[in-house]
Every structure is written in structure tokens, then in C-alpha cells.
Amino acid sequence: MIQYLVKPGSKVRLSEWDPNDSSAFEGDKDAGKDVLKEINLDLAKLQEVLFAENKHRILIVLQGMDTSGKDGVISHVFEGVDPQGLKIANFKVPSELELDHDYLWRVHQHTPGKGDIAIFNRSHYEDVLVVRVHELVPKQVWSRRYDQINHFEKLLAEEGCTILKFYLHIDLEEQKARLQARLDDPTKIWKFRLGDLDERRLWPEYIKAYEDVLSKTSTDWAPWYIVPANKKWYRNIVVGKLLTDTLRKLDMKYPVSEEDLSNVVIE
């Protein structure tokens, strides 16, 4: 899965990344679902050790165009994971209280504690994406934020947080199909908003904004992965595999009791 890593310092052109790619897996969709079940079991076990050891912190950032599958990743990849150790934060329009503070204030409150996995469904990157595309603040303001975000994430990393950032990469035609599917399905139409069409018309502007994000904020301590996401089943495998591989590298262990329990008899 290393082929999806954005190397720090590289210049990203999303047109060079195939959203239909599935080259890291030889099987088809049905075989992929079986692999995902194995990943689910592995992740559940690893998360249990993470929670019990209470030493490491995991932050997962999910970004992508509308319909790219952020909700889908959460529901499918994390199926079976103990919710006690899983925190999910959604960053929508800031409240008045949040606007009274710096843009990272509301974000820091949702970063993971020891033993936790925190998932940002959208994130602090909205402040160099939506804010930039819609010109909510001047360029001289949002252009400073790339370095600020890098410093913020470095602080988290130096405090023991492992950060994984996933850009879920779909193309314009796939988004069209998914928006239409929402519109046609009575169980999904609640997700459809007319504003989605306004955002869709800004696709080129968002692509440019994402290219700058991926180029300027993929670091050794908080790397970006560009995940091919036109095939939902493959998207889930890539995210799940990268996460389980990362957790294994932490060499986590169940803690031992600090008390002498050798003579304990339960009657």
C-alpha cells in the first residue's frame, strides 16, 4: 500500500492518480469483502490491545469530495471495533463560540487520548479547503495555515499520537452516479442536499485546493495517503490494511497487573 503514500515534499497532481486503481489486490469485489472481514477481526483485536495498554493515541483524518465515502469507511472498516475506544468527530460550520477562537481550538478538543482511536470525518483541513474555495477569509490568512497545521500535527505526534490521513479519491463521473443513487433511493435521499450541486460545480477549485493540501502537509509525522475510492470495496481494504499495519508496528502488549495475584483464590 506504500504506492498510495504522498512523499513529503512532492508535488501532487491528482490527474496522475487513478481513482479506479485496484492493483494492490488481485481478487474481485466478492473476494475483497472476505479480505475486509479478516481486516475487521484484526482491527478489533489490535484496538483491544491499544485500549488496554493505554499508551498510544491514533488519529485518523478522512477527507474527500462529497460522496467519496468517509461515512462508508467508518461503518465498514471499523465494524466490530469496541466503541469505548473509538471517538468520531465531524467538523461542520463553526459555532459562534468556535468562531471566537482560533480555527484549531475546536479541533484540539477532539484529538485522541491514550488508548483511543479518533476519526475526523472532515477536519481542520476544511480551513484550507472550503474556506479557500468560498473565499471566506483572505488568501493571506488561509495561506499561512499549511505551516500552522504542520506544526499542530507535529505537536500531537511528539506527544505520542500516530496520525494517518486519507484522501478518498473519486472522479467527477463517480460522484455523479453516487449523487443520483442518493436521489433515487428513499433510504438515502435524506443525505442529498441541493447545496451538493453547488459544491459540485466548484470541482476544479476543490481539486486545486486538495492538491495544495496534499503537497504541503504530507509529512514524516503525519503522512497523507491518496486512496483510490471509485471502488468502495477496494477503498475499504486500503484504509483497513494501512491502519492494521500501522498498529502492528507499535508493538503493543496487554499490560500485566501491578499487584501480586499469584495466590488469589476466587471462592
How confident is the model over 120-176, as pLDDT tens digits? 999 999 999 999 999 999 999 999 999 999 999 999 999 999 999 999 999 999 999
Report if residue 263 sits inside a domain: no
What's the CATH code of the domain at 127?
3.40.50.300
Total structural domains within the chain = 1
Do residues 11 and 215 touch, judged by C-beta distance below 8 A? yes
Average pLDDT over residues 111-124: 97
44 CB-side CA count, 13 A: 12
The domain containing residue 99 runs over which residues? 2-249
Report if residue 266 sits inside a domain: no
Report if residue 262 sits inside a domain: no
pLDDT beyond 80 at 262: no
Q: What pLDDT, on the 0 to 100 scale, is given for residue 259?
A: 83
Report if residue 265 sits inside a domain: no
Q: What pLDDT, on the 0 to 100 scale, is given for residue 224?
A: 98
Distance of CA 262 to the CA centre of its chain: 44
**Around Cβ 187, how many Cβ atoms within 10 Å?**
7
Report if residue 72 sits inside a domain: yes
Do residues 229 and 19 touch, judged by C-beta distance below 8 A? yes
pLDDT beyond 90 at 229: yes
Residue closest to 133 by CA, chosen among 28, 221, 204: 204
Q: What pLDDT, on the 0 to 100 scale, is given for residue 257?
A: 80
Report if residue 26 sits inside a domain: yes
